[in-house]
Amino acid sequence: MGASRGPRLSGLQKQVLSLYRGFLRAARCKSAADRRQIESIVSAEFRRNSNQVDRKNFLYIEYLLRRGKKQLEQLQSPNTESLSQTKQS
């Protein structure tokens, strides 16, 4: 029996999912309390963007991917304990 396959994903969708998984993996290296906070922030941010950003706005999605990769690099640093979240209007 083979694994069931979902819908085919575009390159950008694969990058977004990879970034999301990267954040969850990085959260595993932090303390339990920080891990829960990181997972909550990441989940909320990805969900907010999935609802607010037009799927055809490739430039903005690529910008968000670049920004997310920089934030992930920061989070992976041993000196970083947690993420902070800012409200955007």
Write out pLDDT tens, residues 37-87. Answer: 999 999 999 999 999 999 999 999 999 999 999 999 999 988 876 776 655
Q: What is the pLDDT of residue 13?
A: 92
Query: How far, in Å, CA of 35 to CA of 75, rounded?
Result: 11
Q: What are φ and ψ of residue 69, in 5° steps?
A: -65, -40
pLDDT band at 88 (very low <50, low <70, confident <90, very high): low
SS3 content of the chain, % helix, strand, coil (to 5): 65, 0, 35
Instruction: Let me know: does 65 contact 20? Beta carbons within 8 Å.
Output: no
Instruction: Give the dihedral of Cα atoms 28, 29, 30, 31; nearest 10 deg.
Output: 80
Asked if the model's pLDDT at residue 89 lies above 60, the reply is no
- Nearest by Cα to 82 from 48, 32, 46, 17: 32
